[in-house]
Amino acid sequence: MPEGHIDRRAPANRFHRDPERSYTLPASHYFDPEVYAREKEAIFYRSWNFVCHGEQLRAAGNYVTSAIGDQNILVMRGKDGKLRGFYNVCSHRAHELLRGCGTAKVITCPYHAWSYHSDGRLRTARGSEKVAGFDADEFCLKQVQVEELCGFVFVNLDPQAPSLKAQSGELENEFRRYCPEIDRLTLSHR
C-alpha cells in the first residue's frame, strides 16, 4: 500500500458486536440477498414495525395494508372497535385481499370471492357446503400482533414477541414529555 494511503475497506474480521470496537459493515452487507434474507428473519419479522397513524383506522372497517419485508400485512378496525392485524392473503389460494387503505364492511378475495369478517373469521366460501367435513374455523385469516403507541400503529409478525408496551418501557412517557400535544397530531401526508 502506498505511503500515506488509508485503506478505507473494512475487512469483515474487523466487524465486532460491540459498536465502539467495530468498523462499519462490509459494503456487501447492504445489497447481498443472503444478508437481507437473514435480516428479515432475525430483525424485521421479529420487531415492531410502523404501519400508519391511528387516525387512518378510527372507524369500523377502516384498513391499511403494509409490507414488512416481503410479507403483505393488513390492519383493520373491527366492528367491535378492536384493531387487528392479518397477513393480507386469502386462506384459500393466497391471493392478495386488499390494497392500499380505505374502508370495507367485509374482506372479499377478488380471486374466488371467499369473504372474511373484520375479525378474520371466514364468512363465506362458495361451494364449501359441498365439501365433506369442511370446517370454516380452519380457514380464518392468520393474525399478526398489532398495538398502538401514542397514536401510531405498529405490527409484529412474531407471535411470541413481547408486547410493544413491554419492550418500549418508558418511551411513551418520554414522547409525552417532549411532545405533550402528541394526541392532537393528525396525519398530513405519507
Is residue 26 assigned to a domain? no
Is residue 143 assigned to a domain? yes
Q: At 61, which CATH number?
A: 2.102.10.10
Is residue 133 assigned to a domain? yes
Query: How many domains does one find in the chain?
Result: 1
- Give Cα separations from 141 to 108, 130, 161, 185 (angstroms): 12, 22, 19, 32
Whether the predicted model's global pTM rises above the 0.75 cut: yes
Tell me the pLDDT tens digit for each residue of 9-62.
545 566 677 777 777 777 788 889 999 999 999 999 999 999 999 999 999 999
Is residue 7 assigned to a domain? no
Q: Provide the residue range defining the domain that includes 115.
A: 50-181
Which residues, including other chains, have CB under 8 Å from residue 99's CB and lie 6 or more apart?
65
Cα gap 178→181, rounded to integer Å: 9
Is residue 119 assigned to a domain? yes
The DSSP element (H or E) to which 178 belongs, if any, is helix 171-178
Cα gap 9→17, rounded to integer Å: 18
